[in-house]
Amino acid sequence: MLTVNLAIIIPFLAATLVPVLHKKISRIHIGWFVFIVSAALFAFLVRYIPRIASGETFLYTLKWIPSYHINFTTYMDGLSLIFALLITGIGALVTIYSIYYLSSNENLSHFYTYLLLFMGAMLGVVFSDNMMVLYVFWELTSISSFLLIAFWYHRKRSREGAQKSLLITVTGGIAMLVGFVMLYVMSGTMSVREVIATVSTYSEHSLFIPAMVLILLGAFTKSAQFPFHIWLPTAMEAPTPVSAYLHSATMVKAGIYLVARFTPVFGGEMTWFWMVTGVGLFTLFWGSFNAIRQTDLKALLAYSTISQLGMIMSMFGMSSAALVNGYSVDSVIFTQAAFAALFHLVNHSTFKGALFMVVGIVDHELGTRDIRRLGGLATLMPITFTIAIIGSFSMAGLPPFNGFLSKEMFFQVAVNISEFNFASDTWSTLIPVVAWVASILTFVYCMIFVFKTFLGSYQEEKLEHPAHEAPYGMLFSPMILGALVVLIFFFPNVLGDYLLRPAMSSIFPTIAENEDLGVHVIPWHGFNMPLKMTIGVILLGILLFISLRYWKGIYKMFPEKWSFNTLYGNILEQLEATSNTVTNFYMTGHLRDYMVYIYSFFILAVGGMLVITNTLVFNIEGNASISSLEGIIALVMMIAAVTILFAKSRLTAILLNSVLGYGVAIFFVLFRAPDLALTQTVVETVSTVLFLAAYYFLPEWKKEDTRKRSKSVNLIISILVGVIFTVVALAVQNGKLFDSISSYYENSYELAGGRNIVNTILGDFRAFDTMLEVVVLLIAGLGVYTFIKLKARKEDASVEDK
């Protein structure tokens, strides 16, 4: 199973080669190399479909930090395989599209490096079995998406969109990390598989519900669920290939994956059911409601993506009804909700990816995405129009497109929840009502996308470029996705039998042991309630679309100043203002203040620990006696140290400071350590000379006008620091937990062939440490030399300019 690990690693390795190949092979577009990588990974994963469909799973563990139960463990089952195929398959198509979309003047090496980093990170998320490793890849998707969204960093809105997506998704990721830690505390394992297998042993733990909420926060922020959805529309400032890849097929699906993966753990709780279902349904409604008011095609698709993600999320929430403890209704009825969610997950990736590419084509060829400036493009861009029809009608839930099948299943699950009164009569009835109303609004914005853009009058005077069909290279990828939309409608069970059914077994392992979780999908399922709801969606949707100008004024009831975007902006501004205030409070620009902070913290931390741990115990009776000569030297050093404070000139202060260094050298002589005395003498002499040379070039020393209060603070801090250092030095003698290691070095001659203990320690026992210290000095010297040479060259250049 080493190959699955390589599937994660290969994109990262390829990312390191992109800049090199881009320079070496300039005649060939670097995008083709990225396409080969993603297409090869897709082909490799396709080979596993038959084996996964037969019930096999694949596991491989590479030890990383085993003492903390953190290993690079990959696990492939039906659920992870679906996401991996989307990541690599859509990634390959997006790469082809980007080759023709992006200008050769763009920084393509950066773009494709970021794209490969994101692909590898997403594969890491869906294949990781260890929660800590999953978190690492999870945050790496946020970082790489930040780089992709900010690709056009010269645009202010691109930078703001990237910042917003990073702040929101990383914050959710940290919450998810805390939830993972709680799961580890409860289960004693970092393995997702083991967490699922042992859930019955800790489901009553007090941390169970908090862990659930925190993990859902991570999922909701990544999948743009209300109220964290605000990052997705602003992320549309990214190049369209990024939007087609990250924001329709991959990154926003990471939260969906997390919910699906942890449904076996938390699905038995009603809290999980209502949080996932409720947030998903409201996101479905809110996204579709706001999509209608948009005038930018990418913004419309952004809100439609939010809406569709809410729909998928709500279906996974409703599927958890099959796991709720004590519920007696046939569980398979509700597991079909997960089947519908997985089905729509794939369908959404196909039609939404195609639609994003259509918008990119319109923007690329006409120079605008503003719906108010578009119209009449159907005859001028017939292929693009056809793809738009297929994608939009599929998203609206119309036959003969795959979105119709999964939307009908969504209606059926909502009706099932209502009929069985799963929670209460009122709330159960609201679920299909909200689903139906949101679907009507979805139908309306789909019609806006098609009819406002491609039909009506052609307004060439409002366009930057005359309308014309895109090159076939740019049309290839959306045509493939459009064809899949139709093919899945006619052959849905190929997808269901080989991919969706194994994924269902991953989500409901206990039920799958006794029940057949597969669903046989047919385009015509009779004149039942879901079909009646669809007919109602079409009729009311057409009516609302025709009368759009009469009721669109309702959006004035929701002004921008009351939006979550404004709230986010206000919070960010307030945090920035507060941080500036706090920073300006302690960053005064005075060295004295910074020393006060440092030493005050030292006094509180070290002194406090001495008191708390009761280690202020020392005994000096066994110490060696102090001779009169040693006492005189110590007294001289103390007098010199105190006198420095009252020195009137720099020369006096430097000479007094050298008295301290030479005093230490004399002590080394008295303690029979001549080598240390010699070293100390040399260091002190060099230091004194350097001080004198440095201060010679400094301006005249003006003593600070220190207030009496500051002098008192300085005196108190100085005394306390000195006392604490002294007490620590004395207390260490009574705090010996182990035998001294010095006895080991006494055999230096036998062990290292040297009679000088200090030299053998530096040259033999700690040879690597000494070598690295020398390397540090070498690097520092090279740095100083480089700065000097650069300065000299700069000065020479300025002289030549004159």
Averaged over 419-435, what is the pLDDT?
Answer: 76
For residue 705, name the pLDDT band (cuts at 50, 70, 90).
Answer: low
Torsion of CA 142, 143, 149, 152, to 10 degrees: 180
Q: Cβ neighbours of residue 410 under 8 Å, at least 6 residues apart?
A: 311, 315, 340, 344, 435
Tell whether 108 is covered by a domain: no
Cα–Cα distance measured from residue 302 to residue 243, given in angstroms and rounded to the nearest whole number:
9
In Å, how far from its chain's centre is CA 280? Answer: 22
Residue 179 has pLDDT above 60, yes or no: yes
Same domain, 505 and 641: no
Same domain, 301 and 374: yes
Give tens-digit pLDDT for 387-411: 999 999 999 999 999 999 999 999 9
Same domain, 483 and 631: no
Residue 624 has pLDDT above 80, yes or no: no
Cα–Cα distance measured from residue 232 to residue 220, given in angstroms and rounded to the nearest whole number:
12
Contact by Cβ (8 Å): 288, 438: yes
Same domain, 654 and 675: yes
| Residue 381 Rama label (left phi>0; alpha psi -120 to 50; beta) | beta
pLDDT of 649 reads 81
Closest CA to 395 of 308, 274, 327, 503: 308
Same domain, 525 and 603: no
Average pLDDT of the chain to the nearest whole number = 88
pLDDT of 703 reads 57
pLDDT of 799 reads 44
Amino acid residing at 371: I
Range of the domain at 358: 281-546
Q: In sequence order, which ranges of 30-106 are alpha helices (DSSP H)?
A: 30-46, 49-53, 78-101
pLDDT of 483 reads 96
pLDDT of 553 reads 86
DSSP-derived secondary structure for 305-355: HHHHHHHHHHHHHHHGGGTSTT--S-THHHHHHHHHHHHHHHHHHHHHHHH
pLDDT of 328 reads 47
Same domain, 648 and 716: yes
Q: In sequence order, which ranges of 328-471 are alpha helices (DSSP H)?
A: 332-366, 382-396, 402-419, 425-454
Cα–Cα distance measured from residue 640 to residue 632, given in angstroms and rounded to the nearest whole number:
12
Averaged over 232-245, what is the pLDDT?
Answer: 91
Same domain, 625 and 773: no
Residue 114 has pLDDT above 50, yes or no: yes
Tell whether 127 is covered by a domain: no
Q: Cβ neighbours of residue 157 under 8 Å, at least 6 residues apart?
A: 234, 237
Contact by Cβ (8 Å): 670, 632: no
Residue whose token pair is 């990541």? 87
- Is there a cis peptide before residue 227, judged by omega within 30 degrees of 0? yes
pLDDT more than 70, % of the chain: 94
Give tens-digit pLDDT for 652-682: 888 898 999 999 999 999 888 887 899 899 9
Exposed, middle or buried by CB within 10 Å (0-12, 13-18, 19+), for 274? middle
Tell whether 339 is covered by a domain: yes
**Separation in Å, CA 438 to CA 400, 442, 783:** 21, 6, 63
Task: Give the orientation angle of helix 254-266 with respect to helix 78-101, to 10 degrees.
Answer: 170
Residue whose token pair is 């800590």? 132
For residue 478, name the pLDDT band (cuts at 50, 70, 90).
Answer: very high
Same domain, 430 and 525: yes
Cα–Cα distance measured from residue 287 to residue 226, given in angstroms and rounded to the nearest whole number:
9
pLDDT of 241 reads 93
Give tens-digit pLDDT for 713-751: 888 898 899 888 888 888 777 766 677 777 777 778 878
Cα–Cα distance measured from residue 501 to residue 394, given in angstroms and rounded to the nearest whole number:
23
pLDDT more than 90, % of the chain: 53
Same domain, 626 and 531: no
Tell whether 187 is covered by a domain: no
Closest CA to 519 of 548, 495, 483: 495
pLDDT of 330 reads 60
DSSP-derived secondary structure for 113-170: HHHHHHHHHHHHHHHB-BHHHHHHHHHHHHHHHHHHHTTTTTSHHHHHHHHHHHHHHH
Cα–Cα distance measured from residue 388 to residue 405, given in angstroms and rounded to the nearest whole number:
19
138: how many CB neighbours lie within 10 A of its CB? Answer: 27
Closest CA to 353 of 446, 443, 485, 445: 485
Averaged over 316-341, what is the pLDDT?
Answer: 77
Same domain, 311 and 452: yes
Query: CA 7, 260, 410, 439 torsion: positive or negative?
Result: negative
Tell whether 571 is covered by a domain: no
Domain-ending residue, one of 736, 760, 791: 736
For residue 260, name the pLDDT band (cuts at 50, 70, 90).
Answer: very high
**Separation in Å, CA 791 to CA 314, 716, 787:** 63, 44, 6
Same domain, 420 and 322: yes
Which DSSP category does 75 fall into? E
- The maximal CA–CA distance of the chain, rounded, in angstroms, is 110
Contact by Cβ (8 Å): 272, 212: yes
| Residue 469 Rama label (left phi>0; alpha psi -120 to 50; beta) | beta
Tell whether 542 is covered by a domain: yes
Q: What is the CA radius of gyration of the chain?
A: 35
Domains held by the chain: number = 3
Domain-ending residue, one of 736, 760, 787: 736
Cα–Cα distance measured from residue 659 to residue 642, given in angstroms and rounded to the nearest whole number:
12
Closest CA to 611 of 723, 733, 774, 755: 723
pLDDT of 498 reads 92
Cα–Cα distance measured from residue 5 to residue 62, given in angstroms and rounded to the nearest whole number:
9
Same domain, 704 and 760: no
Contact by Cβ (8 Å): 132, 70: yes
Contact by Cβ (8 Å): 135, 121: no
Report which of residues 800 and 213 the model is more confident about. Answer: 213
Strands 58-65 and 70-76: antiparallel
717: how many CB neighbours lie within 10 A of its CB? Answer: 17
Tell whether 199 is covered by a domain: no
Tell whether 42 is covered by a domain: no
Residue 798 has pLDDT above 60, yes or no: no
Task: Name the strand (E) or helix (H) holding 71.
Answer: strand 70-76
Residue 326 has pLDDT above 50, yes or no: no
pLDDT of 563 reads 79
Domain-ending residue, one of 681, 713, 736: 736
Residue 426 has pLDDT above 70, yes or no: no
Q: Cβ neighbours of residue 667 under 8 Å, at least 6 residues apart?
A: 630, 633
- When mean pLDDT is compared across 174-188, 347-361, 634-648, 787-801, the lowest value belongs to 787-801
